[in-house]
Amino acid sequence: LTHNMASLSLNDVFSGVKISQFPPPPSGKVITLPADMTVEQAVKELSKANILAAPVYNPESTEEDSWSTKYVGVLDAVGIVFAMLDSYDVGAKHGFWEQMAVEKKFGNTKIGDLAGTFRWGPFIPLEPDSSLLDALLLMGKYGVHRLPVVEVVGDMTNILTQSSIVKMLNDNADLFTLVGKQTLADVGLADPAPQGVFSVPIDSPTVDAFKLIRDKGVSAVAVTGRQGLLIGTVSARDVRAVLSSPKLFSVLSQPLSHFFEQIHRLEADLRSPAVQCSPTDTLQAVIAKLSTVKIHRVFLCDKEGRPLRVVSLSDVISQYVVEPDNYFGSYFCHGLPVGPGI
């Protein structure tokens, strides 16, 4: 983005930026999975690439096919792990892959057969000439976490994530000061959540935290200590730890404190820290925290440190744009299947 854009309205600024300007994935290519791959093979591919989700394509499609013919959805490894929690044996000592091998719901199941189940993600693509405004609205207002970038003929060139959008906002903070200087209280993000913050005590079994995330349809829960003070968080992204070290699956019956210790021994950045914010924090300050620590949420806490609400990436992104009337029209009619929990 350039400084001569600063005098324009933010909608105008973002509509003038093509998403083709975003850098490609670190590996240089987008990881995709064929629909005839087994669940076990697919999850191993995701684990090897250190990612949690990937687009699924129809192996019978051709290069000339449109994206709606070529792609059938997005497979989310979080959903696979969460689906295994109901049959989790607290007394078992085997790891993740051994558990998957005995799961009747998986076995030799092809990932294409899972469309519309578990956390099967919607395939909502943009084209390289789409604008940054499109991406911000989809992620901020509609809560879409990943946006594949596809050519008209169906070739995928990139995947935009909420994290990459927040990094862009942080890197160009001087262009957005009119919005960025507003506080959480100014934009209505400082009031306690009506339903409270979903939380689990630090001495609870780890599996309870993952089940709460799954059953409430949220992306994370707070971990609290004495008197309900915030001391940590467990998110859906912590499934990465189970995939990176499958033996961790056997300790999900242990207290969260033990699970955290095991993750720390493996690799410190596998865990998402619990970061606090206050009503007087500006949007830019929150964005800086989200971008720098590489997290998807911060917790608004009272003076003693009890969590009152979650301020998510989507909450922050949505403050920077306003959706014009009928902007997307019938766009969502072309989306591919969405399963429960999305």
Report strand pairing: 146-150 vs 307-312: unpaired
Residue 113 has pLDDT above 90, yes or no: no
Copy the structure tokens of residue 150: 């596809």
Pairing of strands 276-277, 146-150: unpaired
Going by C-alpha positions, the residue among 280, 275, 282, 278 that lies closest to residue 319 is 282
> Looking at residue 8, what is its pLDDT?
53
- Name the pTM for this structure: 0.84
Q: Give the strand pairing for 297-301 and 276-277.
A: parallel
User: Encoding tokens for residue 216?
Assistant: 């409430």
| Cα distance between residue 222 and residue 198, in whole Å | 6
The model's pLDDT over 143-174, given as tens digits with 9 standing for 90+, comes to 888 899 998 776 788 999 888 999 999 999 99
Backbone angles phi, psi at 90, to 5 degrees: -65, -20
Task: Please name the residue that has the structure tokens 């919607």.
Answer: 122
First-to-last alpha carbon distance for the chain, in angstroms, is 32
Is the pLDDT at 13 greater than 50? The verdict is yes
pLDDT band at 118 (very low <50, low <70, confident <90, very high): low
Alpha helix segments (H runs only) across 172-282: 177-180, 206-216, 239-244, 256-266
More confident residue, 197 or 262: 197
Q: DSSP of 58-78, one letter per residue?
A: -TT--TTS-HHHHEEEEEEHH
pLDDT tens-digit series, residues 292-318: 988 899 999 999 999 999 999 999 999
Residue 177, token pair as written in the block: 């000061």
- Write the pLDDT tens digit of every residue in 321-334: 988 888 876 565 55
What the block records as the tokens of 299 is 């917790």
